[in-house]
Amino acid sequence: MNILISNDDGYQAPGIVALYEAIKALPGVRVEVVAPEHNNSAKSNALTLHSPLYVHTAHNGFRYVNGTPADCVHIALTGLLGYRPDLVVSGINNGANMGDDTIYSGTVGAAMEGYLFGIPAIAFSQTEKGWAHLDSAAQKAAQLVTQLMPSLPDAAQRGQPWLLNVNIPNRPLADIKGFKVARLGRRHAAEQVIAQVNPRGDTMYWIGSAGAAKDDAEGTDFHAAAQGYATITPLQVDLTDHERLPYWAPTAAHLSAPGEAAPSTGAAA
């Protein structure tokens, strides 16, 4: 069983070290780490197309890349590893990736890159920043990986990978109630941008904090995590608003009707 580990907080982050140690200890598992050199949180699925990527190996054997989380998994799968892993795991992230966070998350982006290559993938995050009870989160992650391992070769071979987003409360192991499957909630829009003046008089801007939970109803990741559960949300990649396909059809039809299709040039009128 070959498992590739990446993250978005960088190869030196405590979360990826804890995840590596916990998964490496599982029987019959070979683990490799390919992770960003620096913090790449909120880089989503970004790929670096206009500058070269370099890979270095740290003293502990982790390989690090001057790129994004998706870059790391991409180059690992397309040449660096030289084999196809059975599972891609990402994290453990320093802070929650619930609701809308998943759109921006580099932790999810790294896992999604594996998924897009047809490999089952899991993104792990702790719900609070600061690494409190990180060992508990790593144990829960290893529990889930152990449970899923028997099904991995089949999922990969049949081309039916899955993508799981997992958020683990920062609690002692005994106080985490268990795993609960949950849908994504929603956040309010982010806080206002923060403007500051630098020593040379230029105005600079800091992106504000993520918004508070707006939809944290029962059944959401926000709700289950607040109750003390580790949440599992199966993700899909299709962003199509299927329900509204019929709503937009008349607009397309109207624009395609005779006399409506060609944009006016002025001269023709």
Nearest Cα neighbor of 70 from 7, 15, 125 is: 7
Q: Which is nearer to Mn ion, 41 or 156 (CB)?
A: 41
Segment contacting Mn ion by CB under 5 A, of 37-45, 48-56, 70-78, 135-143: 37-45
Q: What angle do CA 85, 88, 90 make, to 5 degrees?
A: 150
Phi, psi of 195 (to 5 degrees): -95, 135
Q: Which is nearer to Mn ion, 45 or 93 (CB)?
A: 93
What does the chain come to in residues? 269
Segment contacting Mn ion by CB under 5 A, of 2-10, 155-163, 213-221, 224-232: 2-10
Q: Which of 68, 90, 93, 127 binds Mn ion (CB under 5 A)?
A: 93
Using CB atoms within 10 A of its CB, is residue 149 exposed (0-12), middle (13-18) or buried (19+)? Answer: middle
Segment contacting Mn ion by CB under 5 A, of 6-14, 48-56, 160-168, 253-261: 6-14
Q: Which of 3, 5, 6, 8 binds Mn ion (CB under 5 A)?
A: 8
Question: What binding mask, one character per residue, do residues 217-236 give for Mn ion by CB under 5 A, x or -?
Answer: --------------------
| 8 Å CB contact between 39 and 68 | no
Q: Which of 41, 90, 165, 167 binds Mn ion (CB under 5 A)?
A: 41
Closest separation between CB of residue 69 and Mn ion, Å? 9
Q: Is 37 a binder of Mn ion (CB under 5 A)? A: no
Q: Is 101 a binder of Mn ion (CB under 5 A)? A: no
Q: How many residues bind Mn ion (CB under 5 A)?
A: 4
Closest separation between CB of residue 244 and Mn ion, Å? 32
Q: Which is nearer to Mn ion, 8 or 100 (CB)?
A: 8
From CA 97, how far away is CA 42, in angstroms rounded? 10
Residues facing residue 126 across a β-bridge: 168
Q: Is 9 a binder of Mn ion (CB under 5 A)? A: yes
Contacts with Mn ion by CB under 5 A lie at 8-9, 41, 93
